[in-house]
Amino acid sequence: MTERATAIAHPNIALVKYWGKRDIPLNLPAAGSLSLTLAGIRTRTTVLRADAYSMSLGGEEIVGKKAERVFAFLRRMQALSEYKGGLRIESDNDFPTAAGLASSSSGFAALTLAADAVLQTEMSPQDLSVWSRIGSGSAARSIFGGIVEMAAGERVDGTDAYASQVVDENHWPMSCVIALTTTGEKPYGSTEAMNHTSDTSPYFGPWIESVAPDVHEAKTAIMGRDFAHLAQIVERSCLRMHASAMAADPGILYWNGLTVEVIHHVRALRKGGLGVCFTIDAGPHVKVFCAQSDEDKVKAALADLPGVQGVIATRGGPGAYLV
């Protein structure tokens, strides 16, 4: 009997964004997405058999809404298992949590993998991706390494809404340099914000229509290692996602002034000949993709910008694994 298991998962950053659901209870995405799984930052999660449900994050006990989301997810997974007792979760991130750095992607991927081991549910990588998606849509992608595609799926039960690897992290050695534009947590979580966008934004429909062609085109650019083409798609996907959110009622604006300055800086660097492009998630930080050979240059260029709180260099990395 497995009493405890520990899993490590890396966050992923979407090249083509996920923003909107076709089913809320099953957490089914309204469109596909494409991402890079990042080595260099990680979530480590241990799941242990226990008398009751409890959870700590970074050594601090978590109660309330955040914990309830996790426990509800685990109860659903546990319905597949013979084990009827409680579970304790001990998790930590080596990067700021809930700041728009995709901690829910690595969080639910690590949790699903460790829980699968403790609950002895013996899931395939595809099942693990489906279950991670139920926890958080972006987490479905962190089960796999390198460049990963999430399928929107068509079935109402969501069994075809899972991620798969497009190419591994060695196909095109890429870095993602994160420029931190502020400290602290983001004002609104991605789940509520994307639901608010789909409920109230007149741009939501056009946004969703644009995703499948972008995923297709981005995969072509990746297969051909065509950075200029990829950069064009990555930036427009990010800007269209944020445009749909900004057009909600009331509008959702994740950016601060520095976010905009970093965008201009990245475009100036590209004009100057550096292969860089930006993306922004549900927070004010800017993530800059580049070739690993340009990582130091990009790090220095971003760290030099007045106001930038720090830079974190990450690289394409592996999927989730048990330790």
Residues of this chain that interact with ligand DP6 (CB under 6 A) are: 14, 17-19, 27, 33, 102, 104, 136-138, 190-191, 281-282
- In the complex, the smallest distance separating the C-beta of residue 83 from ligand DP6, rounded to whole angstroms, is 26
In this structure, what are the phi and psi dihedrals at residue 49, rounded to the nearest 5 degrees? Answer: -70, 135
- In the complex, the smallest distance separating the C-beta of residue 120 from ligand DP6, rounded to whole angstroms, is 26
Instruction: Specify the residue, 122 or 192, whose C-beta has the smaller distance to ligand DP6.
Output: 192
- 280-290: burial string, b at 16+ Cβ within 10 Å, e else: bbbbbbbbbbb
**What is the residue-wise DSSP string for 108-153?**
HHHHHHHHHHHHT----HHHHHHHHHHH-TTHHHHTS-SEEEE---
CA distance 207 to 315: 28
Instruction: Specify the residue, 80 or 193, whose C-beta has the smaller distance to ligand DP6.
Output: 193
Residue with tokens 């390198």, as numbered in its chain: 146
- In the complex, the smallest distance separating the C-beta of residue 27 from ligand DP6, rounded to whole angstroms, is 5
Instruction: Specify the residue, 123 or 163, whose C-beta has the smaller distance to ligand DP6.
Output: 163
- In the complex, the smallest distance separating the C-beta of residue 85 from ligand DP6, rounded to whole angstroms, is 27
CB atoms within 10 A of CB 148: 26
Instruction: Specify the residue, 46 or 136, whose C-beta has the smaller distance to ligand DP6.
Output: 136
| Nearest residue to 86 via CA among 61, 52, 115, 128 | 52
Instruction: Specify the residue, 41 or 269, whose C-beta has the smaller distance to ligand DP6.
Output: 41
Instruction: Specify the residue, 17 or 240, whose C-beta has the smaller distance to ligand DP6.
Output: 17
**What residues contact residue 183 under an 8 Å CB cut-off, 6+ apart?**
96, 99, 309
- Tell the burial category of 52 from Cβ atoms under 10 Å away from its Cβ (0-12, 13-18, 19+): exposed
- In the complex, the smallest distance separating the C-beta of residue 127 from ligand DP6, rounded to whole angstroms, is 18
Instruction: Specify the residue, 17 or 265, whose C-beta has the smaller distance to ligand DP6.
Output: 17
In this structure, what are the phi and psi dihedrals at residue 138, rounded to the nearest 5 degrees? Answer: -70, -25
Q: Which residues pair with 310 in a beta bridge?
A: 180
- In the complex, the smallest distance separating the C-beta of residue 72 from ligand DP6, rounded to whole angstroms, is 13
Q: Do residues 282 and 297 touch, judged by C-beta distance below 8 A?
A: no
Instruction: Specify the residue, 108 or 301, whose C-beta has the smaller distance to ligand DP6.
Output: 108
Q: Tell me the H-state helices in the chain.
A: 65-78, 103-119, 125-135, 139-142, 190-200, 204-223, 227-246, 257-271, 295-303
- In the complex, the smallest distance separating the C-beta of residue 136 from ligand DP6, rounded to whole angstroms, is 3
Instruction: Specify the residue, 18 or 172, whose C-beta has the smaller distance to ligand DP6.
Output: 18
CA distance 128 to 164: 11
- In the complex, the smallest distance separating the C-beta of residue 42 from ligand DP6, rounded to whole angstroms, is 17
Q: Do residues 162 and 288 touch, judged by C-beta distance below 8 A?
A: no
Q: Which residues pair with 293 in a beta bridge?
A: none
Residue number, nearest CB to ligand DP6: 137
- In the complex, the smallest distance separating the C-beta of residue 313 from ligand DP6, rounded to whole angstroms, is 19
